[in-house]
Amino acid sequence: MERQARGTFDVILTPSTADPPVNAAIERMTISKRYFGDIEGAGDGQMLTALTAVTDSAGYVALERVTGTLAGRSGSFILQHSGTLNRGSQELSVKVVPDSGTDELEGVSGTMIFVRADGRHSYHFDYAFNDRSSTMALR
């Protein structure tokens, strides 16, 4: 059964000092998030960004481990991000990496949408637990 989680998050992106930029257009950053709402917890990850000479055109990929609680269950899972900005038009895919759920979040799957409005970030997470994790949770 698919469920929905919603809430807000704060994010800090920091250029990596451990690795110099691959070139002037590609840069590595660390992600640090704090989730509020239906997800309570933190997200930590790595991002690669690609900037272009054209304003409002760029790309990024990232992996982010979310640790906290979701639907009363605690554990972690990994999100895989892939986004492009084409002269202001955004395409973004954020999915749970299969079998990345741990502890009570084992078996979680889903997709997340990020929204930025009025200076705030929010998320909409459509998710499900596979039958195996539901059976394990009842034990």
Domain spans of the chain? 3-138
Residue 52 has pLDDT above 70, yes or no: yes
Secondary element (H or E) of residue 12: strand 3-15
Of 112, 109, 19, 27, nearest to 61 by C-alpha is: 27
Question: What does the alpha-carbon distance between residue 38 and residue 104 come to, in Å, rounded to a whole number?
Answer: 15
Nearest partner of 70 among 11, 129, 9, judged by Cα? 129
Contact assessment for residue 112 and residue 79, using Cβ atoms and an 8 Å cutoff: yes
Q: CATH: 3.10.28.10, 2.40.350.10, 2.170.260.10, 3.30.110.40. Which one for 3-138?
A: 2.40.350.10
Mean pLDDT of the region 46-72: 94
pLDDT at site 138? 44
Instruction: Quote the CA–CA distance of 134 and 108 in Å, as a whole number.
Output: 10
Place of tokens 């409002």: 56
Specify the DSSP class assigned to residue 97. P
Give this prediction's pTM: 0.87
Other CB atoms within a 10 A radius of the CB of residue 47 amount to: 19
Average pLDDT over residues 99-116: 96
Mean pLDDT of 68-88: 96
